Each structure stands twice: as structure tokens, then as C-alpha cells.
Structure 1
Amino acid sequence: MPKSTSSRPPSSRKPLIYGAGVVIAAALLGFVSYRATAPDHSASSSSSSSVADATADPDAGVYPELAKLARRDAGDKLAQGRVDAPVVLIEYADFKCGYCGKFARDTEPALVKKYVDNGTLRIEWRNFPIFGAESEAAARAAWAAGQQGRFWQFHRAAYAEGVEEQGFGKDRLKALAQQAGVADLDRFARDADSSAASAAVGKDQEQGYGIGATSTPSFLINGRPIAGAQPMETFTLAIEEAAEKARNTEDAKGGKDAGGSAK
């Protein structure tokens, strides 16, 4: 498995303190991240170990502290789906990661069609560049494209088959932005080199290290950690369990409200 080559100093990678339970979640995510991204790991076995104890119990493997990391910000340009969707999938990914590209091409469009479009799922992107200077440059460029409302178009262009092998030099990133329909390329270049871009990417990166992510892609689905470009079935199971739990919670809340008002 390729190791992180981020230029950020090791002291900046200390796990954030979310609670004792999250220490376990972080350890699990790190271990599963290794298992799930090993080149010889089969799809069937990765599916069975990639979700933190995804079982009939909707609470198994779910960490409320991690669920709170969902921003649900209507102004988030690196997110798609309803702000009030019952399920939020947070993705920590790197544009130089081949497994991230596989997820972006093979699984994410199906999740959007099946769950985002009907209001069940919101997807929030977190830039998590771990493979060096080009990873960080691509992350800043993606953020810059987002400032003009073209993040997901840039995301699609950057993860197209064969793009990763061409590298992410400055000219290449500008070409991808043009392909993504970014209107003002001069502004794009300024934004990509800005301190605001570096700060935004750094914030996402710190959050990824804080939850114990050690490789990409890593995910949280309503506080349930998943690692690796898993099969569609893995995400379907986790999303539907989270949606069912959200519905049950809302129904219970409604019942209590009704009971309270009836007194």
C-alpha cells in the first residue's frame, strides 16, 4: 500500500480528541484502511470488513462524535445533496489516489442517482492530500474550482480514466479547470495559490488525520467509518441502515411531541 508522503510535519497529525469511543473508531479505520487498500485484497473480503460492524443493529460501529463532523452548511461548495438529508457521507480523498478514482467513477455516480437525487444522502468532500506536493496542488485547485461553483465538474475531470498518470502540474490543473467549465481562469489561478485555499485544505487534512485515516479514500456515514473503494453493496448497506435509524429517531421524536401536546 502506498504510504502518505504529505509535507505536513508529523506534529500536525496528532489525533483530535473526540471521546474515548472515537479512539477505538480511529484505530479501526486505520486498520481497515490498510486492509481495504491492499492491492491483493479481494472485493468480497473487503466488503465484509470495511464497515465497522454493519449489522442488523443500526448502532453497531457508529460513533456519535464522528457523526457531528458533518457540516451541513448550505454554502459548502464542496458538497452535494440536501442540507437536511437524513444521511451524510463524508469522503476524505486525494486526487492522486487510484482507489479514490475508482470510487469516483464506479460507485459515487450510482450513489448520487440512488440516494442524493431522492434527498436521502448528502455527500461532503474533504480534501485529504497525502501523496505529496502534487496532491496538495490538486486539492487547492479543486477548492478554487469550487469557488466558482465547478467543484464537482473538476472532480469528475480530475478522476477521469488515465488523468492521474498525467500528473497535476500547474498547466495541467488549469486545463482541467477549463475542461470543468471554470469561467474565470485567472481568478482560478489566484484562488488556487491563495492562503484561503491552503487553510481550507489544511483544515480538511487535519480532520482526516484526527479520525485516524491513514490512506484514501476513507469515509464516514453518519458516524460509521468505512475505508477503501468498497463495492456498491457496502455503501448501500451502511446508507440504508443510517436512513432507517434516522427515520426511527424522527418517528420516536414525533410520537413524544404528540404525546406531550396531548396532555
Structure 2
Amino acid sequence: MPEQNTTSTGSRARRLLLPAAVLLALLAVTAFLLLGGQGGDGGDDTTAGSSGQSTGTGGEQDGGVDMPAADASEEEIVSALESLARREEGDPMALGDVDAPVVMISYSEFQCPFCGRFARETEPVLVEEYVEDGSLRIEWRDFPYLGEESRTAALAGRAAAAQDGFWEFEEAMFENQQPPNSGRVTPDFLADVAEQVGLDRQQFLTDLESEEAAAAVDRDFQEGQSIGVTGTPAFLVNGQPVMGAQPTDVFVEVVEEALAEAEAGR
């Protein structure tokens, strides 16, 4: 495992975790805004899908999550969030064993500079140290909240996944990350990236326009909103929220703690 300063990292990691009780408060606010407060035109763009479709907070809405009641314990909330792990065999947008003891759900998007920093600096360490030995599974979720180019890039990720090339595409996108809303993230640019990682260009462009890809992106985006995510990157590590591109050693500590809890039979 990576070397780390064990005298200080643990306490720092705990300070940077978002307590599930705080997330529950966010859920209550989100539910009010999305279910009871939709009458006005104002508000942040992050409270509505970038496709312009309405979003929900669980229940019968696809992509939502049924959360415990407002008086639920933190353990019940974490358990509900942990259940969001899909663990689908052959999921092209997941890395690691389907039965890994720890699952990290990553709400991310290709225009976010902090997502880029996580992908370039932290993700390779987690893959080498935990994914490859079967301890950790990473599941990507689209959260394209920064604008129309974010949504186009998310659709491109789905098109790459259709050719089993999502993670190669993700790496290439973040290595050559464009400034947010620069006008550069066009279908042609994205197809160039896809070709760069060995994907079929014409098939990629066809899949980019598919209804299936659009529905999948909307489902992920809605899922994130339904649990109170408002920005990226945001993570759930066995249901425990971690917000932002924290230093790599913080993620190492969080994964180690989750592994210890899993081994103890939590």
C-alpha cells in the first residue's frame, strides 16, 4: 500500500468526509426545491438536468434513490447510499471486480478541472494499489452540470463505452482537458479523441447521437441530484460521501477504513 503519514492523515480524512447527517439535510432541501418549489424561473442551473428535463428525488423517478425518513440514523443513510452501487457484470464504465469489498461511486464530468486533477493524480494510484488486487471497484456516474459541452462530452463517454473504450477515452480527455465552455468540445473534437484511443470514428459519432446514451446520462445526473450532489467531483465510498478532489492520501485513508470495516463484517 502507498506510504502515508498515519499520524495526521486519518484525522484529516475524517474532517474532509461529508457526514451523512449533513447529506440528509441536503436531501431535504433538494426534495423541497425539486418537488415543491418549481414554480419560479430563477435558481442555479445545477438543480435541473442539462438536457432541460425535470429531475426527481427518488421514488418512482428513474435514477433517483429511496432515502430513509428524516429521522433516520446516519448508519441507515449510509446504507441507503451504499445501495447505489450497481455492481453490474461487464459494466464498461466501471473498473474492478464486481464483488470488490469497497465500491467508490464517482460523480464526475469532463469539463471539471478538479475531476481532471483527480483522474490524473489520484485515480492511477487507487487503480494500481486497490483495483488491481480486487479490493476496490470504481463506478463512474455522469454529472454534466457545467453546460451543454459537459453534456456532449458525457454522451461521448457513453459512445466510447459502447466500444468498451470508456476508460481509455476518459484518460485521453483529461490528459487534453479543455477549458470549461470554451467552444472546443465539439463532436469532431470528441471523435478525434476517440480515434486517438483506437475507437471506430463513425460508430462513435452514431452512438453519440443515440437515445440510449442520452437516457443513461440523464439517469446518472438525476441520481446525483437526488442525493444532494451539486458539483464535481463527488464520491461515495461504501456509502460514505467524500466531496472534492482531495489529496491522494486522503482517498487512500478512506479506502483503507472502508476495507477494515468490510473485513470486520459491517
Q: Please, what TM-score do these two structures have when normalized by structure 1?
A: 0.75
Does the 8 A contact of 2:116 with 2:177 survive in 1? no
Per-residue deviation, 1:196: 0.4
Counterpart in the other structure of 2:244 = 228
Q: Which amino acid aligns with 1:192?
A: L
Counterpart in the other structure of 2:119 = 104
CA distance in 1, matches of 2:93, 2:127: 14
Among 86, 94, 100, which residue is 2:101 paired with?
A: 86
Per-residue deviation, 1:163: 3.5
Structure 2 matches for 1:53-132, cutoff 5 A? 63-132=78-147
Counterpart in the other structure of 2:167 = 152
Cα RMSD for the two superposed structures: 2.4
Per-residue deviation, 1:11: 3.9
Per-residue deviation, 1:23: 8.7
Does the 8 A contact of 1:85 with 1:122 survive in 2? yes
Whether 2:24 is the aligned partner of 1:7: answer: no
Counterpart in the other structure of 1:196 = 212
Does the 8 A contact of 2:68 with 2:77 survive in 1? no
Q: Which runs of 5+ in 2 are unaligned?
A: 1-43, 59-64
CA distance in 1, matches of 2:176, 2:156: 19
The alignment covers a number of residue pairs equal to: 214
Counterpart in the other structure of 1:53 = none
1:146-177 deviation line (CA, Å, top 9, x unaligned): 11111000000110154446631111001110
Per-residue deviation, 1:14: 4.0
Among 211, 219, 234, which residue is 2:235 paired with?
A: 219
Whether 2:254 is the aligned partner of 1:238: answer: yes
Among 191, 195, 212, which residue is 1:178 paired with?
A: 195
Among 17, 29, 46, which residue is 2:66 paired with?
A: 17
Question: Does the residue aligned with 2:88 lie in a helix, a strand or coil?
Answer: coil
Does the 8 A contact of 1:22 with 1:66 survive in 2? no
**Cα 1:99–1:247 shift into 2, 3 Å:** same
Does the 8 A contact of 2:50 with 2:144 survive in 1? no
Moved more, 74-83 or 162-171: 162-171
Whether 2:218 is the aligned partner of 1:169: answer: no
Structure 2 matches for 1:26-41, cutoff 5 A? none
Q: Which runs of 5+ in 1 are unaligned?
A: 26-58, 251-263
Same amino acid, percent of matched pairs? 42
**Cα 1:23–1:161 shift into 2, 3 Å:** farther
Q: Which amino acid aligns with 2:205?
A: A
1:132-159 deviation line (CA, Å, top 9, x unaligned): 1110110010111011111000000110
Per-residue deviation, 1:238: 1.3
CA distance in 1, matches of 2:217, 2:73: 26
**Cα 1:23–1:106 shift into 2, 3 Å:** farther
**Cα 1:201–1:119 shift into 2, 3 Å:** same
Among 167, 177, 187, which residue is 2:203 paired with?
A: 187
Larger helix proportion, structure 1 or 2? 1
Runs of 4+ in 1 over 3 A off after TM superposition: 2-6, 8-11, 13-17, 21-25, 161-166
Counterpart in the other structure of 1:141 = 156
Q: Which amino acid aligns with 1:148?
A: Q
CA distance in 1, matches of 2:85, 2:197: 26
CA distance in 1, matches of 2:52, 2:156: 22
Q: Which amino acid aligns with 1:84?
A: D
